[in-house]
C-alpha cells in the first residue's frame, strides 16, 4: 500500500522522531536519500552541472546538503537563492565542498555557455503556501528544458489537497521523505510530480489521508472462488445499460461484467439490444435475482426508468453515465440501506454538483468528497488519477492505465467490472478501487504502447487477474 499523509500528520511524527535523534540527523537522512537519487538519475556525479534553487526552509537545507555531497564527488554545483536567507549549516557545507552561490540576476549570463544537467527544486517545503513568488518563476523560465528533481513536493502545489491554484514547478522526479503526501497521489498536483521516490525516515504515522493499492494489495482483495464454489455463490451481476441510440454501451458494460470475476451476468434492456448482447455473449442470461446492478451506461431516455427499477431491488448498485442525471437531490431521498458506487467523469460530476467542469478538474478530491457526502455513496471519479472516495472521507487513488484509455466506451467496461466485483462480495470501496486498478492495468496490456478500443480492455482483464494471482504484478504499479 502506498500511503500519503497530510502535513500536520507528518509534522507530528517528525517531532516525535526528532526528540530521539541527535540534532541534524533527520536532515542528514533526507539529504543522503536525495543525493543518492540525483546520482542515480545523472548516472554519476563527476563532471555533472547541478543548479539548486534554494528556499529558506528545511527543503532548501536538504538541497544544500545533497549538493555538498555531489560537489565532493566532482559535480559543479550552483546554489541560486530564492529568498534572503538559506539554511546556514547546509550553505556552509556546500561552500566547503566547493559549491558556489549564484545570484538570480546573474544566472542568465552564467547559463549562456554552460549546459546544466539537472535542477533541484528546494524552493518551498511542505509547509509553504501554494504558488511561487519572484524570483522563482523567472529563474525557472531560464532553466526550461532541464530535468527537474523536486525536494519533497514540487514547489507551489497545495500539499494537502493536490490543488494547484497558482504557478508551480513541474518535476521529472520528486524525492519525498518519510511518507507520501496527498499531492503525490491527487491531481492536478500529482501530474506535476513526475516519478515519485520515497526516502524512509522511520516515522511512526497514523492512518493516511490518501492511499493507493499496489499489485500485492489488489491480489489480496480479488474474489477467488473456493473449491466448493458454484455460479450463484460467486455472485450474479445484473446490467441495465444501452438503448436504441447507444446499443454498444450495453455490449461494453456486459463485457466488463463478464470477465469471469462473478459467477453469472444477467442483462435487462430493450429487446433488440438484448438480442445483440446474447449474440456477443451467449453466457449472459435474462432477468432474475442478482447481488448487484450496473445501470446507466448508454441509457439515454430510458435511464430514469432503469434507475428506479434498479433501486427497487435494494442491492448494491453501480450508477454510471445517463443514470447519474436522475439521482435524487440527496441521500435523504434514498432507501436507508442503499449501497452505491457512482462513476462520473469530471463533466458529469460538475453537472451533478451544479458547477463547472473546470472547477472539478482544478479540485477533483474536494468535489468527489462533496458528492460522496451528499449522496452517501462511494464515488469513483474517473481521470488520469482515478479517485475513489467514501462518505466518511476514506480515499484511494489509482494511476494504472495509459493515456490511450481515453477512448469511447472505456467507462462502460469499468462500470461492468466494478459491478461484477460488488456481486462477488467486495465492499463498494474495495470494488471501486480494485476495479479501477484492474481496468487501468488491463488497458496498459491491451495498448502495448499504442491505440486501443474499449472492448480490448475487457478482454485483457483475465490476463491481469492471472498475473496478479501468480504474483507477477509489474513494478510500475507498486
DSSP assignments along 252-293, one per residue: HHHHHHTSSSSSEEEE-S-HHHHHHHHHH-TT-B-S---SEE
Give the pLDDT confidence score for residue 239 in this predicted structure. Answer: 98
- Does 66 lie in the same domain as 119? yes
- Does 352 lie in the same domain as 258? yes
Average pLDDT over residues 441-467: 97
CA–CA dist 152, 175 (Å, integer): 5
Q: Where do the H-state alpha helices sit in 312-376?
A: 346-353, 357-362, 364-375
- pTM as predicted: 0.94
**Sheet of 210-212, strands arranged across:** 2-4, 210-212, 395-398, 386-389, 378-381, 340-342, 317-319, 292-295, 236-240, 264-267
The answer for residues whose C-beta is within 8 angstroms of residue 218's C-beta and 6 or more apart is 434, 437, 438, 468, 473
- Does 55 lie in the same domain as 172? yes
CA–CA dist 474, 342 (Å, integer): 29
At residue 477, does pLDDT exceed 70? no
- Does 76 lie in the same domain as 56? yes
pLDDT in tens, 131-146: 999 999 999 999 999 9
Cα atoms in the 13 Å half-sphere on the side-chain side of 341: 35
Cell of 260: 469471469
pLDDT in tens, 31-76: 999 999 999 999 999 999 999 999 999 999 999 999 999 999 999 9
Q: Residue 235 belongs to a domain with what CATH number?
A: 3.40.1190.20
∠237-239-241 over CA atoms, to 5°? 165
pLDDT in tens, 411-449: 999 999 999 999 999 999 999 999 999 999 999 999 999
At residue 473, does pLDDT exceed 80? no
- pLDDT-derived band at 478, boundaries 50, 70, 90: very low
Cell of 316: 448494491
- Does 236 lie in the same domain as 175? no
CA–CA dist 110, 360 (Å, integer): 42
Domain C-terminal end among 211, 231, 249: 211
- Does 109 lie in the same domain as 49? yes
At residue 237, does pLDDT exceed 80? yes
Computed over every residue of the chain, the mean pLDDT equals: 95
**Secondary element (H or E) of residue 341:** strand 340-342
CA–CA dist 6, 180 (Å, integer): 9
The answer for residues whose C-beta is within 8 angstroms of residue 120's C-beta and 6 or more apart is 34, 38, 50, 51, 52, 53, 63, 66, 67, 148, 149, 151
The dihedral built from the CA positions of residue 298, 302, 305 and 306, taken in this order, carries a sign that is negative
Q: Cell 460538475 appears where?
A: 350
Cell of 205: 504515522
The boundaries of the domain holding residue 367 are: 215-477
Q: Which one-letter DSSP state was computed for residue 62?
A: H
- Does 367 lie in the same domain as 305? yes
- Does 46 lie in the same domain as 97? yes
- Does 342 lie in the same domain as 196? no
At residue 474, does pLDDT exceed 80? no
Select from 22, 17, 14 the least CA-distant residue to 176.
Answer: 14
Q: Indicate the number of domains in the chain.
A: 2
Report the range of poorest mean pLDDT among 57-71, 303-317, 326-340. 326-340
For the beta carbon of residue 408, count every other beta carbon within 10 angstroms: 11
∠126-127-133 over CA atoms, to 5°? 90
Give the pLDDT confidence score for residue 330 in this predicted structure. Answer: 83
pLDDT in tens, 88-97: 999 999 999 9
CA–CA dist 358, 164 (Å, integer): 13
- Does 460 lie in the same domain as 386? yes
Domain C-terminal end among 180, 211, 242: 211
The CA–CA distances, whole Å, from 356 to 8, 225, 320, 323, 359 equal 31, 44, 19, 19, 5
Cα atoms in the 13 Å half-sphere on the side-chain side of 33: 21
Q: What beta strand segments (E) does 44-139 contain? A: 49-54, 76-81, 100-101, 118-122
CA–CA dist 166, 132 (Å, integer): 7
Give the pLDDT confidence score for residue 55 in this predicted structure. Answer: 96
DSSP helix, strand, coil percent of the chain (3-state; round to 5): 45, 15, 40
- Does 270 lie in the same domain as 136? no
Give the pLDDT confidence score for residue 428 in this predicted structure. Answer: 98
Give the pLDDT confidence score for residue 334 in this predicted structure. Answer: 77
Domain C-terminal end among 146, 177, 211: 211
Q: Residue 94 belongs to a domain with what CATH number?
A: 3.40.50.10260
- Does 251 lie in the same domain as 160? no
∠254-453-293 over CA atoms, to 5°? 20
CA–CA dist 172, 45 (Å, integer): 18
Per the CB < 8 A criterion, the answer to whether 467 and 473 are in contact is yes
Select from 99, 89, 121, 84 the least CA-distant residue to 23.
Answer: 89
Amino acid at each position: 500500500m502506498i500511503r500519503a499523509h497530510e502535513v500536520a500528520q507528518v509534522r507530528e511524527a517528525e517531532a516525535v522522531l526528532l526528540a530521539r535523534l541527535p540534532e541534524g540527523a533527520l536532515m542528514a537522512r533526507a539529504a543522503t536519500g536525495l543525493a543518492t537519487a540525483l546520482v542515480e538519475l545523472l548516472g554519476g556525479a563527476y563532471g555533472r552541472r547541478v543548479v539548486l534553487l534554494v528556499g529558506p526552509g528545511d527543503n532548501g537545507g536538504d538541497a544544500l546538503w545533497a549538493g555538498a555531497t555531489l560537489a565532493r564527488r566532482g559535480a559543479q554545483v550552483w546554489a541560486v537563492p530564492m529568498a534572503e536567507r538559506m539554511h546556514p549549516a547546509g550553505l556552509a557545507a556546500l561552500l566547503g565542498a566547493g559549491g558556489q552561490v549564484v545570484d538570480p540576476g546573474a544566472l542568465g549570463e552564467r547559463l549562456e555557455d554552460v549546459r546544466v544537467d539537472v535542477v533541484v527544486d528546494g524552493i518551498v517545503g511542505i509547509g509553504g503556501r501554494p504558488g511561487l513568488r519572484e524570483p522563482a518563476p523567472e529563474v525557472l523560465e531560464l532553466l526550461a528544458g532541464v530535468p527537474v528533481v523536486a525536494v519533497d513536493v514540487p514547489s507551489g502545489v497545495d500539499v494537502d489537497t493536490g490543488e494547484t491554484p497558482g504557478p508551480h514547478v513541474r518535476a521529472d522526479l520528486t524525492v519525498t521523505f518519510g511518507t507520501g503526501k496527498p499531492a503525490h497521489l491527487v491531481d492536478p498536483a500529482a501530474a506535476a510530480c513526475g516519478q515519485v521516490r520515497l526516502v524512509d525516515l522511520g516515522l511512526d504515522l497514523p492512518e493516511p489521508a490518501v492511499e493507493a493499492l499496489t499489485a500485492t494489495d489488489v491480489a489480496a482483495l480479488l474474489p477467488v472462488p473456493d473449491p466448493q464454489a458454484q455460479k450463484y455463490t460467486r455472485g450474479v451481476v445484473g446490467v441495465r445499460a444501452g438503448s436504441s441510440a447507444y446499443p454498444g454501451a450495453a455490449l461494453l458494460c456486459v463485457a466488463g461484467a463478464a470477465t469471469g470475476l462473478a459467477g453469472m451476468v444477467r442483462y435487462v434492456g430493450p429487446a433488440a439490444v438484448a438480442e445483440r448482447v446474447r449474440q456477443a455473449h451467449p453466457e449472459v442470461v435474462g432477468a432474475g435475482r442478482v447481488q448487484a446492478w450496473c445501470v446507466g451506461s448508454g441509457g439515454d431516455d430510458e435511464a430514469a426508468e432503469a434507475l428506479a427499477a434498479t433501486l427497487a431491488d435494494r442491492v448494491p448498485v453501480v450508477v454510471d453515465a445517463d443514470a447519474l442525471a436522475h439521482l435524487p437531490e440527496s441521500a435523504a431521498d434514498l432507501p436507508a440501506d442503499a449501497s452505491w458506487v457512482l462513476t462520473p467523469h469530471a463533466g458529469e460530476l460538475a453537472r451533478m454538483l451544479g458547477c463547472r467542469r473546470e472547477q472539478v478538474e482544478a479540485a477533483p478530491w474536494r468535489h468527489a468528497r462533496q458528492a460522496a457526502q451528499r449522496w452517501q455513496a462511494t464515488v469513483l471519479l474517473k481521470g488520469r488519477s482515478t479517485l475513489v472516495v467514501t462518505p466518511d472521507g476514506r480515499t484511494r487513488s489509482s494511476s494504472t492505465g495509459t493515456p490511450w484509455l481515453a477512448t469511447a466506451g472505456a467507462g462502460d467496461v469499468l462500470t461492468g467490472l466494478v459491478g461484477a466485483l460488488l456481486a462477488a462480495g467486495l465492499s463498494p470501496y474495495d470494488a471501486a478501487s480494485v476495479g479501477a486498478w484492474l481496468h487501468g492495468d488491463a488497458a496498459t496490456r491491451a495498448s502495448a504502447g499504442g491505440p486501443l478500443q474499449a472492448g480490448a480492455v475487457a478482454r485483457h482483464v483475465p490476463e491481469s487477474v492471472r498475473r496478479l494471482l501468480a504474483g507477477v504484478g509489474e513494478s510500475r504499479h507498486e
